[in-house]
Amino acid sequence: MSTDNRMTQVTTSQREPDREQRIFTFKVTQLIWLLLGFLEALIAIRIGLRLIGANPASLIVSMIYGFTSLFLFPFSGVVNSPAAGDMVLELSSMFAMVIYALLAWGLERIVWLAFYRPRESAVGTTETTTSEHHINP
């Protein structure tokens, strides 16, 4: 009496063309929006601190003013900022926030147009392996 043992192994794999390119594009655009969000948050905090007349001699306030002044320098004097005592409404900072948002959007679109590749059909490969074992008593 002979016993046949047959074993079949099926391996299927799919490869998506340009997947790495799409992931790179996604990560770069997310980094752009993250950096914009960080900058806009700091500028908004600066506007709030200036509005309540925060003490510029305070360490955290002076750090925020120092860092944001690098980005607000091109916009100083664009619009007059109304003031009452130590309280200042920095309209130029609000203007800068709008301009930086538009610049980030434009940069994100340029990255998207330059590097994004539309999704194509996945390429599938199927491999079947069959092995037979005969056992004779």
How many structural domains does the chain have?
A: 1
Residue 137 lies in a domain: no
Q: Report which of 125, 98, 67 is spatially closest to residue 106, judged by C-alpha positions.
A: 98
Q: Give the chain's mean pLDDT.
A: 84
* Per-residue pLDDT tens over the stretch 81-120: 888 888 899 999 999 999 999 999 999 999 988 887 776 6
Residue 118 lies in a domain: yes
Residue 71 lies in a domain: yes
Who's near 39: CB < 8 A, 6+ residues apart?
A: 71, 100
Share of the chain above pLDDT 70, in %: 74
- The answer to whether 112 and 4 are in contact (CB under 8 A) is no
Angstrom distance (rounded) from CA 66 to CA 86 = 18
How far are the Cα atoms of 26, 45, 52, 96, 109 from residue 68, in angstroms, in the given order? 27, 10, 17, 11, 25
* Per-residue pLDDT tens over the stretch 28-52: 999 999 999 999 999 999 999 999 9
Residue 12 lies in a domain: no
Residue ranges making up the domain that contains 65? 28-123
Residue 98 lies in a domain: yes
Residue 131 lies in a domain: no
| The pLDDT of residue 136 | 57
Residue 90 lies in a domain: yes
What one-letter code names the amino acid at 86? D
Residue 54 lies in a domain: yes
